Amino acid sequence: MPAGLGMRRFFLLLAAVLTWPAATISAQSADPVREMIRQSHASDSFWSVMVRSDDGEILYDLNGERLVRPASNLKLVTSAAFLEMIGEDHRFETTLFGAGDINGRRWDGDLHIEGGGDPTINGEAYSDPLFLFERWYTVLDSLGIEEVDGNIVGHDGLFDDRPYPRGWEWDDLSYYYAPEISALSFNFNVVDLEVRADGQPGATPSVTWFPFETPYVQFINEQTITPQGTAFDESYRRELGSNRIYLRSTLPRGHYETEPLSVHNPTLYFIDTFKQYLQRRGIAVNGQLLTTNEPVSGRAPGAVKLHTHRSAPLHTMIEWMNRESDNFYAEMLLKYTAAKRYNIPGSTEIGLEAVKEYMSSSGFDTTAVTLRDASGMAPATLLKAGDLNRFLVDVRSASYFDSFFRSLSTGGENGTLQYRFRNTPLRGNFRGKTGFLSGVRTLSGYLTTKKEETLVVTIFTNNYAIKTAVVDRIHDRILTYFYNSY
């Protein structure tokens, strides 16, 4: 017995020490969220869960101050930054110029297209992906032009010439979710492939693609039709630095598959498609296709504006970006933010510095933040889940919050949450954002509870090695617990 300590006091102290671990375990076992995680197949993954009340009071905190990979939950921050720094009603301009003269039915001179960083020249924003080329054909046709005896020049100098953010993985770069970024972009900078396994087993499936089976890309079709009932095995790869795309999927007989695949050099893709469109509509183009980072005023002084396309407002782009978790929109808007804010060619790095300034002013611990992109697809991107959760409380006082809130998916109804919570009380009661990378699943947003309270919820799972659907079910149970408890 220690000197100076009475027998009774000693045994009381010993009893307290011996029972302390049991009391701690008991307290932990009374935590339903920890218990859900502990009993799941993802118990050895890293979990961060933070819940705040409508007025910002912390109701639950599990590892909220630890660094995590946010995946596409990063778009919650970058989309708000774009709304503040660009302006929710801002519109983007893409302009067709003419440098030359009309000689009868011939245009003697060049046509110039100046890219304005608009990500919406596609079929999702407009009913026809080729809508702008049709407008410009109409402009030329109204002038009586049947032939262009000159070049088509694409100007993409609003952005720098680095096509990807640092840290994107090379085996993603063939796919629609990791396209090259350019100030002059069309159709998300992808071609839309269709594959039909309409032959006998052992034969090669047929392929078609949009736009109008353009020769801008070359498909090496090494696919094979397998017997009905066998599994579809997807394999697409674009040779980096080229537009040669290898197709090596196996498809069961009768299978139909669509896949948007990225292209190299989006500026050239834009003007090549414009040339082909004009020729299909009866206007011959005799010159070359050229790209430059010079402004039109420097390359062709005295060029005349023939038509300027103005996009829909930025807030409509943010709605698409968040609901559909579109990486292309996020990275386009990031570079545009840099160009607009600093009057320099927009770059990912300068755009990220602007976003970090916004994050700092919004209460993030930016000394602990690592940003590699605007979309969250780079695995090296890190932040604290607790900071993101607090941000979602504070952003409600921003002037653009209505636009921000409208951009979030509604559980069971639209966007990336369309098929989540459909047959549960959570349907229509959770507005938020999903995130996914290999080994990363995240979910953040606003939960309206059974008692009609509003909670701000952030759930991050990192480093899991099981099926994502299993992690989703745990996220759903956690959300349901808070729905029923408040």
- Measured in degrees and rounded to the nearest 5, phi and psi for residue 269 equal -60, -45
Beta bridge partners of 305: 97
Q: How far, in Å, CA of 338 to CA of 347, rounded?
A: 6
Distance, CA of 96 to CA of 308 (rounded, Å): 6
What is the DSSP-derived secondary structure letter of residue 330? H
One digit per residue, the tens of pLDDT, for the chain of length 486 reads 443 434 444 333 333 333 333 222 233 448 999 999 999 999 999 999 999 999 999 999 999 999 999 999 999 999 999 999 999 999 999 999 999 999 999 999 999 999 999 999 999 989 899 999 999 999 999 999 999 999 999 999 999 999 999 999 999 999 999 999 999 999 999 999 999 999 999 999 999 999 999 999 999 999 999 999 999 999 999 999 999 999 999 999 999 999 999 999 999 999 999 999 999 999 999 999 999 999 999 999 999 999 999 999 999 999 999 999 999 999 999 999 999 999 999 999 999 999 999 999 999 999 999 999 999 999 999 999 999 999 999 999 999 999 999 999 999 999 999 999 999 999 999 999 999 999 999 999 999 999 999 999 999 999 999 999 999 999 999 999 999 999
Who's near 404: CB < 8 A, 6+ residues apart?
Answer: 79, 80, 83, 318, 395, 398
Dig out the tokens for 173 from the structure.
Answer: 């770069």
The candidate with the shortest Cα–Cα distance to 159, out of 327, 296, 333, 381, is 333
Structure tokens at 51: 């819940």
CA 325/CA 182 separation, integer angstroms:
19
CA pair distance 477, 474, nearest whole angstrom: 5
Q: Which of 445, 438, 439 is nearest to 415 (CA)?
A: 445
Cis peptide before 201 (omega within 30 of 0): no
Q: Which amino acid, residue 154?
A: G
Could you identify the residue written with the tokens 């009071």?
A: 57
Measuring CA to CA, which residue among 273, 307, 309, 304 is closest to residue 102?
Answer: 304
For residue 422, what are the CA distances in angstroms to 151, 188, 412, 416, 429? 54, 30, 4, 12, 11
Q: What is the model's pTM? A: 0.92
Sequence-distant (6+) residues with CB within 8 A of 252 are 197, 225, 226, 227, 228, 229, 230, 231, 232
pLDDT the model gives residue 92:
98
Torsions phi, psi of 245, nearest 5? -120, 125
Domains contained in the chain, CATH given: 34-88+315-485 (3.40.710.10), 93-161+266-312 (3.50.80.20), 185-262 (no CATH)
H/E stretch holding 440: strand 440-448
Q: Count other C-beta atoms under 10 Å from residue 327's C-beta.
A: 26
Compute CA distances 409 → 19, 316, 326, 416, 431, whole Å. 48, 14, 13, 6, 6
Q: In this structure, are residues 261 and 176 in contact, taking their beta carbons and an 8 Å threshold?
A: yes
